[in-house]
Structure 1
């Protein structure tokens, strides 16, 4: 259980760090490839209007090269450190 929580934490940290790097390197010419992203999901979101309550459900994923690299690096570190 503890190992699973560490892997989930490292993956989340990799997602955050990769997103940050992708945003920061978008305007740098030779590093702009890190910000190349593919976005997919449900757009517009599903909407259920019941008169009193309106419920909207949507999901989209923005997957960039930086995120993929940092998540792979986080998993590699987690496996090497054997959390």
Structure 2
């Protein structure tokens, strides 16, 4: 059995990222299904309008919005569970 020293934090990060993305995807897929629509319930926060930095010859646009749903939280829990098993 593998010890805690063998586990890599990068693998945890990638599993968490995959859990968030797959959970958000499943939440979006189930938003029109009546008995599963609660999976897409959540809150979005971030910059409503992007910030534009015009430097004359270079224009940089900054924007970030994060949407946390019940499905993405479930994806995080599943990713942590899988990480502990491996």
Instruction: Give the TM bin, normalised by the shorter chain.
Output: 0.7 to 0.9
Distance 1:70 1:8 in 2: 13
Q: Which residue of 2 aligns with 1:55?
A: 60
Which stretch shows the higher mean deviation, 26-35 or 44-53?
44-53
TM-score normalized with structure 1 length? 0.86
1:18 offset after TM fit, Å? 0.2
Number of aligned positions between the proteins: 81
Provide the secondary structure at the position in 1 that maps to 2:79. helix
Deviations 1:3-52 (A, max 9, x none): 11110111111012101210111111111000112110012111111111
Structure 1: gaps spanning 5 or more residues = none
**Residues of 1 paired with 2:69 and 2:30: CA distance?**
12
1:44 aligned to which of 41, 45, 49? 49
Matched with 1:66 is: 71
Structure having the higher helix fraction is 1
Moved over 6 A (4+): none
